[in-house]
Structure 1
Amino acid sequence: MNTSPVQMLWPTPILVRRFEEAAAVNPELLRLFYRELGAQGLQGTVYSSSDDILVRYNHPALQALFGFISDAVFEIARTLNGAIWQQAGVKNLRMEIVGAWFQIQNRYGFHDIHNHGNCSWSGVYYLQLDPVQQRRQHPVLGALNGITRFYAQHLNLLGGAHMDMGNAYLQQSTFDVTPEEGVLVVFPSWLLHKAMPYDGERDRVIISFNAQVHGEQGDKAFEYGFH
Structure 2
Amino acid sequence: MTPAPDEGSAAQLLQLFAVPLALVEGVLDEAANAELAEWILLERELGEGVQRSVVGGWHSRADLPARRVQPLDAFFGTLIEQVRGVHARVGSGVDYEARFMLQAWATVLERGHYVQVHDHVDAHWSAVYYVDAGDCDDAASGRISWINPIGSHRSMPGAELIPTTFSVTPRTGLLAIFPGWLRHSVEPYQGDRPRIVIAANIEVQRRAR
The answer to which structure has the higher helix fraction is 1
> What is the root-mean-square deviation of aligned Cα atoms in Å?
2.2
Q: Which runs of 5+ in 2 are unaligned?
A: 1-10, 50-54
Of 88, 97, 101 in structure 2, the residue corresponding to residue 96 of structure 1 is 101
The answer on 1:146 being equivalent to 2:142 is: yes
Answer whether contact 1:19 1:68 (CA < 8 A) is retained: no
- TM-score of the superposed pair, with normalisation by structure 2: 0.84
Q: 1:168 to 1:148 in 2, by over 3 A?
A: closer
- TM-score of the superposed pair, with normalisation by structure 1: 0.78
Q: Percent identity?
A: 25
Instruction: State the partner residue of 2:137.
Output: 135
Residue-pair matches, total: 194
Answer whether contact 1:100 1:210 (CA < 8 A) is retained: yes
Instruction: State the partner residue of 2:152.
Output: 157
Q: 1:188 to 1:41 in 2, by over 3 A?
A: closer
Instruction: State the partner residue of 2:86.
Output: 76
Instruction: State the partner residue of 2:57.
Output: 46
2:91 is paired with a residue whose SS is helix
2:161 is paired with a residue whose SS is helix
The answer on 1:168 being equivalent to 2:164 is: no
1:76 is paired with a residue whose SS is helix
1:157 is paired with a residue whose SS is coil
1:16 is paired with a residue whose SS is strand
Instruction: State the partner residue of 2:187.
Output: 196
Answer whether contact 1:117 1:189 (CA < 8 A) is retained: yes
Q: Which runs of 5+ in 1 are unaligned?
A: 137-142, 219-227
What is the distance in 2 between the residues matched to 1:19 and 1:65? 12
**Structure 2 counterpart of 1:157, which letter?**
S
1:68 is paired with a residue whose SS is helix
Of 122, 128, 137 in structure 1, the residue corresponding to residue 126 of structure 2 is 122
What is the distance in 1 between the residues matched to 2:148 and 2:117? 12
Shift of 1:184: 0.4
Shift of 1:95: 1.1
Instruction: State the partner residue of 2:117.
Output: 113
Instruction: State the partner residue of 1:208.
Output: 199
Answer whether contact 2:111 2:192 (CA < 8 A) is retained: no
What is the distance in 2 between the residues matched to 1:113 and 1:162? 22
What is the distance in 2 between the residues matched to 1:101 and 1:26? 15
Answer whether contact 1:122 1:186 (CA < 8 A) is retained: yes
